[in-house]
C-alpha cells in the first residue's frame, strides 16, 4: 500500500523542533514568568549494591513553574523513576536537595500527590472511600471528605462508579480513580510514574486526553515520567530528556506544539521533528537497527515471508 513517495521522510524536509510559532513562544514566556514551584538542585542518588555503589542519578538540576506539565523521558535505567520518587519523598537523595516552593522535601507529604504505574488503589475501599483516604488522614470530617471526594470523582468522570470496588474497574478507570485520589488532597505537584504504561494503546490515548482536560481545570504542576516518546511530546510543555549510566540530564526540550493539544497534531511535521530529535537524543544511532541473526533456514524454498 505504501508508495515510495510517502514512505520516506526525505521528500518533505521536517522543520527544526526549535521553530516555535510566535504564539507558542509567547506561551513559554508567560510560563517562565510564573513562580517556580519545584526546584530540583543538584540531586544525586547512589545505591549501595552487592557489587559496590551504583550511581543512579548524577547531579540533576531543574525548575518547574506553576501549572507546567513536565515529562521526564529516557531509556530504561536512566533514573527517571528514581527522580520522581525523590521528589515524592519516597527515596532520599544522596546529594543535593528538592525544594517545593521554598521548603525542602524531607519525606512524602500531602503537597505532592503520586500516581504509580502499578494499580495502588486500596482494594478494600470503594472508589469513593479511596478518594476520601487523603482527606481522612488529613483530618477532614467524614462528611466534608465525602462531599469533596464526590466532586473529584465527577471530575474524572466516574460518578456512576463511586460505590464500586477497584476489582470491578478496568485498568484505565483504576488510574483515573488514582488521579482523583491524588488530586483530592489539592497537591501542588502531581507526580505520575509511567501511569499509563500498563494500559493498551487505545486506553492510553483516552487517558492522555482525560489528563489534559483535568490538568486544564486544576491548579497543579505535573511531573510525568514515561518512556513513550509520543506520549511525552503530546502531553508536555517541556521534556526532561535523560540518559543512562549514570542517569543524567541530556537536554530540556521545549515542545513547540500549540495548545490545546489535539490528536491530529500527532502527525504534524513539528510533532514528528520533535519526536525524531528525542529519538536521536535517547537512542543515538541505534535507532531501529536490529543485530543480524546468524542465517539458518527451517522452511522450504518458495514460501518466503519477505
Partner 1 sequence: MNEGRDQGARLETAPRATAPRDKTRGRGEWFRIRKDLPQERASMLAVFSFLLPLALWALVSYVPFIWHPFILIEQPGSIDYFQPGMLVEREVFAAERARAVLEGRSLAEGRPANPVYLPAPHQVARALYTAFKMPPRLPSEPWLHQSLGHSLKVIFAGFALSSLLGVPLGILCGTFPFFAKITEPFLEFFRYLPAPAFGALAVAVLGIYDLPKIAIIFIGTFFQEVLVIANTTRKLDPALFEAAETLGANRSQLLLKVAVPGVVVDLYTDLRVLLGWAWTYLIVAELVGTTSGITYFIHQQARYRNYENVYAAIILIGLIGLSSDVILARIGSALFPWTPARAKPSLVRSIVKFLAARGNGRATKEQPA
Residues of the shown chain interacting with partner 1 in the complex, contacts defined by CB under 8 A: 88-90, 107-110, 112-114, 116, 118, 120, 122-126, 133-134, 136-138, 157, 160-161, 164-170, 172-173, 178, 181-182, 185, 191, 203
Q: Give CA 17 to chain center in angstroms.
A: 20
For the bound state, the minimum distance from the C-beta of residue 203 to partner 1, rounded and expressed in Å, comes to 8
CB 274 within 8 A of CB 20: no
For the bound state, the minimum distance from the C-beta of residue 182 to partner 1, rounded and expressed in Å, comes to 7
- Quick one: 47 or 133, whose CB is closer to partner 1? 133
For the bound state, the minimum distance from the C-beta of residue 266 to partner 1, rounded and expressed in Å, comes to 22
Beta strands 95-100 and 36-49 are antiparallel
CA dihedral 253, 254, 256, 259 (to 10 degrees): 130
- Quick one: 177 or 281, whose CB is closer to partner 1? 177
- Quick one: 28 or 133, whose CB is closer to partner 1? 133
- Quick one: 139 or 260, whose CB is closer to partner 1? 139
- Quick one: 75 or 198, whose CB is closer to partner 1? 198
Distance CA 267, CA 273 (A): 10
For the bound state, the minimum distance from the C-beta of residue 250 to partner 1, rounded and expressed in Å, comes to 28
Segment holding 48, helix H or strand E:
strand 36-49
Distance CA 78, CA 58 (A): 10
- Quick one: 146 or 279, whose CB is closer to partner 1? 146
For the bound state, the minimum distance from the C-beta of residue 9 to partner 1, rounded and expressed in Å, comes to 36
Residues whose CB is less than 8 angstroms from the CB of residue 287 and which lie 6 or more positions away in sequence, other chains included = 279, 280
For the bound state, the minimum distance from the C-beta of residue 159 to partner 1, rounded and expressed in Å, comes to 10
Nearest one of 222, 219, 158, 146 to 186, comparing CA atoms: 219
Segment holding 192, helix H or strand E:
strand 189-193
Amino acid at each position: 500500500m505504501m508508495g515510495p513517495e510517502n514512505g520516506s521522510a526525505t521528500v518533505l524536509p521536517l522543520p527544526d523542533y526549535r521553530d516555535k510559532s510566535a504564539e507558542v513562544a509567547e506561551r513559554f514566556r508567560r510560563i517562565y514568568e510564573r513562580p517556580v514551584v519545584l526546584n530540583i538542585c543538584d540531586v544525586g542518588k547512589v545505591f549501595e549494591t552487592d557489587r559496590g555503589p551504583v550511581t543512579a542519578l548524577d547531579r540533576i538540576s531543574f525548575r518547574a513553574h506553576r501549572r507546567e506539565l513536565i515529562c521526564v523521558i529516557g531509556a530504561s535505567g536512566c533514573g527517571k523513576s528514581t527522580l520522581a520518587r525523590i521528589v515524592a519523598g519516597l527515596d532520599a537523595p544522596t546529594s543535593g536537595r528538592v525544594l517545593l516552593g521554598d521548603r525542602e522535601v524531607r519525606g512524602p507529604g500531602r503537597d505532592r500527590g503520586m500516581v504509580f504505574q502499578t494499580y495502588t488503589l486500596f482494594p478494600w475501599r470503594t472508589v469513593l472511600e479511596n478518594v476520601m483516604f487523603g482527606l481522612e488522614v488529613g483530618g477532614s470530617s467524614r462528611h466534608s471528605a465525602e462531599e469533596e471526594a464526590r466532586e473529584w470523582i465527577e471530575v474524572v468522570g466516574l460518578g456512576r462508579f463511586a460505590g464500586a470496588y477497584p476489582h470491578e474497574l478496568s485498568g484505565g478507570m483504576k488510574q483515573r480513580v488514582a488521579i482523583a485520589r491524588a488530586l483530592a488532597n489539592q497537591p501542588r505537584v502531581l507526580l505520575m510514574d509511567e501511569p499509563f504504561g500498563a494500559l493498551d494503546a487505545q486506553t492510553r490515548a483516552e487517558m492522555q486526553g482525560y489528563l489534559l482536560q483535568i490538568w486544564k481545570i486544576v491548579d497543579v504542576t505535573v511531573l510525568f515520567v514515561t518512556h513513550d516518546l509520543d506520549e511525552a511530546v503530546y502531553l508536555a510543555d517541556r521534556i526532561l530528556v535523560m540518559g543512562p549510566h549514570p542517569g543524567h540530564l541530556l537536554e530540556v526540550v521545549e515542545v513547540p506544539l500549540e495548545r490545546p493539544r489535539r490528536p491530529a497534531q500527532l502527525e504534524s511535521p513539528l510533532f514528528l521533528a520533535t519526536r525524531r530529535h528525542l529519538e536521536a537524543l535517547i537512542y543515538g544511532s541505534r535507532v531501529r537497527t536490529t543485530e543480524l541473526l546468524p542465517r539458518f533456514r527451517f522452511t522450504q524454498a518458495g514460501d518466503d515471508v519477505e
